[in-house]
Amino acid sequence: MQSEIKSCAFTGHRQIKKEHISLINERLGAAIEYAYSQGCKRFLSGGAVGFDTAAAREVLRFKLAHPDVSLIMLLPCVEQDRLWSDRQKDAYEYILSNSDEVRYISDSYDNICMRRRNQALAEECDIMIAYLSHSISGAGQTVRMAQKLGKSVFNLYHDIESRLKNSI
């Protein structure tokens, strides 16, 4: 692993297992704290519903105590939230309005904007924090892209699964 981590990207599934919800923020907080202790000040999120927005919210919480941290939203297209519920849109708007930077890969949705967003996340990070239970997904694609570029990927899904099994 690199001696100093400058940027960390998040990728994960839109659906978080019900039994994982109680641990997801705790594990995200610990992962963000670790990345920060290694020099990371830039956190990147693709802004999708589920893990991406949970990670972005956790970075915003972390920023309250660490104002030197920045949250960069790398979004596939302007209307990413077009089909979301009002509650999801409100949470998304809160994240965007409190982010340090918002970048759109495309002005409108097209066949490749999601893939290009995933590639941008993989290219711009030093490490990646994932929530990945299966690899046939956009999150799986993003993790493969990061690994192909030699980036370290930490999968919180397996960490949470083992914590739940050990608590039984």
Residue 1 within a domain: no
What local confidence, expressed as pLDDT, does residue 107 receive? 94
Residue 35 within a domain: yes
Q: Give me the domain span that covers residue 81.
A: 7-163
| pLDDT bracket for residue 160 (50, 70, 90) | confident
What local confidence, expressed as pLDDT, does residue 16 receive? 85
Residue 168 within a domain: no
Cβ atoms of 101 and 66 closer than 8 Å? no
Residue 97 within a domain: yes
What local confidence, expressed as pLDDT, does residue 3 receive? 57
Angle (nearest 5°) at CA 17 between 135 and 14: 60
Q: How many domains does the chain have?
A: 1
What local confidence, expressed as pLDDT, does residue 82 receive? 92
Predicted TM-score of the model (pTM): 0.93
Cβ atoms of 45 and 74 closer than 8 Å? yes
Strand order in the sheet with 7-12: 101-106, 70-77, 42-45, 7-12, 127-131, 152-155
Residue 2 within a domain: no
> Which CATH number covers residue 155?
3.40.50.450
What local confidence, expressed as pLDDT, does residue 1 receive? 44
